[in-house]
Structure 1
C-alpha cells in the first residue's frame, strides 16, 4: 500500500486554512499543519486524528522567516515524505485609510501575504517536483481581482499573489505541477471578525449590522462559508483538475466575474 499524498497547509490553525486542512485529511491525505502558534494547530490535529486522519503540527513557522520555513519543511518531509500538495493560506488584512497606512503596515502585509507565499513555494518546489503530480493552491481573495477601500496594502498583496500564480503556472506548464489561486469574497472566518470589529469601532454599528454590510457585497446577499472555499481547493488538487492551471477562481456569489 502506497503512502498517502502529503499536503502542506500554511495558516492551518484558523479559518479557511483550518477548513482546508481538515477536508484534505478526510480525503486521505497526510496533512502538515503549518503556522506560528502551536495551540490552534494542535486543536486541528486532534480533530483530524479523531476522524481517523493523519495530521502533523509544524508550529513556529513564520512565512516571513526563511530559516523557519526551511526548518519547518524539513520536519514535515521527515514525517510524511515529499509534499505533493501545497496550500498557501497564511494571511492578514489590517485596514486603514491609504493616507494613514504606515510603511511598517504596508511592508508587513506584503511580507506576510505575498512574499510569504513566494518564499514557501520556492522552498517547497524541489520536494513537489520529486513527489510528482504536484498541486499548488494559493488562497488569494477577491481583493486580488478588484479594489476595496481601506485595505490598499492587502489588495496590492493579493493582486501580487494572483500575478505570481499566473507566472509560475506558465513556468511549470510542461511539468505535472499545476498552480492556481482561489479568491474568496467576504468569508465567515476570524479574519472577517477583525473587519467587523473595525467597522463597529469606527461607525458605531452593531456587529450584526457590520456583518450585514459586508454580506451586501455578495450578490447572493450572504457571506461565503469556509467549506465552500474548501470544496474549490479539493477540486483543484484532484486528478480531474490536471488541465486547470494559472486560474484565479472567485468564490464570491457573483461579486467578481472573470479575472
Structure 2
C-alpha cells in the first residue's frame, strides 16, 4: 500500500489549525495531495490566501474551506467547526498544529505570558478538539493528531511555560486516547525537536543573544546539539502527521512520536 498516494486520504475531511505557516502549512498541502478535503485555519488572512493558491494546484476548490479563526475565543471555535461541516461535511480528521513559543526562566516568568502560552497551546486545543470529538463519537470514527514537542517530554532551560504546555498536551493525548479508542477514534501526538521554522529561529536567536553570539553561530550550536547534525523540516513532520491519519496506522494509539534527529538520546 502506498500511503502517500492520491487516494490515501480521499475518505477524510481534515481540519488543520495553525495552517498559515510551518508544519500546519505543509500538512495541509500534503493531505490535499493525498485526496483529503481540507479545512484550514489561522489568524493571518493573507497567509491563508497564499495557502489556498497552493492548495488549488493540488485539489479542486470544492474540496477546500479556509477560514480565519481566533481559537482562544469559544464563539470563534464553534463558528469554525459549524462552517467547516456545512461546507465539506463530517470532520473525521483533526490536526492541532496551532501553537506559540514563549516563556522565560522560572524566576522571571510572569502570569500573563504563562496564561497566553497555556491558553493557545493547551486550553484552546483541548476545547476545539472537544467540539470535533463530540461529532466523531456520533459516527464512531475519526483520527486526531496533536502537535506537541520534544519539550513536552523533557524540560528545557528557560522554556518552562512552553514545556509545561506541551507536557500538558502529551498527558492529555494519552488520557484521551484511552477513552477514544473505545469508540474507534485514534488520538496521537507528534513531538518534534528543532524544526526549520520561524518558531525555532526565534528560540535560537533568543539563546544566541543571551550568549552574546550571532544568530548564525547560535544555529551552528543548535545543529551540533542534534546527533544527526540537522534540523527537521516541516515537510518531514507533516509526513508523520498524515501517516497517522491514514488507514496504515490502525493500532498506533496514544503515542508521542519523536522527530528529533536523535536529540532525545542526549
Q: When the two structures are superposed, what TM-score results if normalisation uses the length of structure 2?
A: 0.91
CA distance in 2, matches of 1:196, 1:55: 35
Which residue is equivalent to 1:41? 48
Match of 2:111 in 1: 103
Query: 2:253 corresponds to which residue?
Result: 245
CA distance in 2, matches of 1:208, 1:183: 25
Q: Deviations over 1:104-136 (max 9, x none)?
A: 001111101011111110011122234553100
Q: What corresponds to 2:64 in structure 1?
A: 55
Candidates 12, 16, 24, aligned match of 1:17 = 24
Count of matched residue positions in the alignment of Structure 1 and Structure 2: 254
Structure 1 portions without partners, runs of 5+: none
Q: Which runs of 5+ in 2 are unaligned?
A: 1-9
Match of 1:146 among 147, 151, 154: 154
Partner of 1:232: 240
Matched, 1:191 2:191: no
Q: 2:169 aligns with which of 157, 161, 164?
A: 161
Q: Counterparts of 1:238 and 1:129 in 2: how far apart (Å)?
A: 19
Determine if contact 1:83/1:131 at 8 Å carries over to the other structure: no
Q: Is the 8 A contact 2:29 2:58 kept in 1?
A: no
- Give the alignment partner of residue 135 of structure 1, picking from 133, 143, 158: 143
Alignment-derived partner of residue 83 in structure 1: 91
Look up the SS of the partner of 1:62 in the other structure: coil
- Residue-by-residue CA offset, 1:53-103 (whole Å, 9 max, x unaligned): 4332110x1221111100111111111111011000111111422111101
- In structure 2, the partner of 1:172 is 180
Q: Quick check: 1:38–1:57 contact (8 Å CA) kept in 2? A: no
CA–CA distance in structure 1, aligned partners of residues 224 and 145 of structure 2: 27
* DSSP-derived class of the 1:181 partner: strand
Match of 2:122 in 1: 114
Q: What TM-score do you get using the length of structure 1 for normalisation?
A: 0.93
Residues 82 and 131 of structure 1 are in contact (CA less than 8 Å); yes or no, is this contact kept in structure 2?
A: no
CA distance in 2 between partners of 1:211 and 1:77 (Å): 42
Q: Secondary structure at the residue paired with 1:116?
A: helix
Distance in 2 between residues matched to 1:152 and 1:119, nearest whole Å: 23
Equivalents in 2 of 1:200, 1:149: separation in Å?
Answer: 14
In 1, the alpha carbon distance for the partners of 2:109 and 2:218 equals 22
Distance (Å, rounded) in 2 between the aligned partners of 1:82 and 1:88: 17
How far apart in 1 are the matches of 2:170 and 2:59?
A: 35
| Secondary structure class of the residue paired with 1:50 | coil
